[in-house]
Amino acid sequence: MTENNKGKWRLTGYYSFLEHSRRKDAWQILRQLSHVSDFPWCILGDFNDILSSSDKKGRNERANWLINGFRRVVLDVILFS
């Protein structure tokens, strides 16, 4: 996309797998997408993950490996894309 006098950037709509067993696959997709272009990147959608246990609403707690794994991929994508 190009915004007048702002340069090119890209937008990605994303919906992650619902199954916890497929989250590592979803995170790998995010890492791959981060390398597609050097343009500034806006990604929006439903990641079906949280960055902190304090983000969780409801009864069922989220496993630490899910929270930590998603946090790592977000940091990887921000720092290395």
CA dihedral 20, 26, 28, 33 (to 10 degrees): -160
pLDDT one-digit tens code per residue, 7-18: 899 999 999 999
* Residue 63 belongs to domain spanning: 2-80
pTM of the model: 0.82
Q: How far apart are CA 36 and CA 70, in angstroms?
A: 20
pLDDT(78) > 70: yes
Mean pLDDT for the chain overall: 90
pLDDT computed for residue 1 by the predictor: 62
pLDDT at 79: 77
- Cα of first residue to Cα of last residue in the chain, in angstroms, is 18
Number of domains into which the chain is organized? 1
Residue whose C-alpha is closest to residue 64's, from 78, 48, 79, 50: 50
Residue 6 confidence class, pLDDT cut points 50, 70, 90: confident
Between the alpha carbon of residue 63 and those of residues 38, 53, 80, the distances in Å are: 33, 9, 26
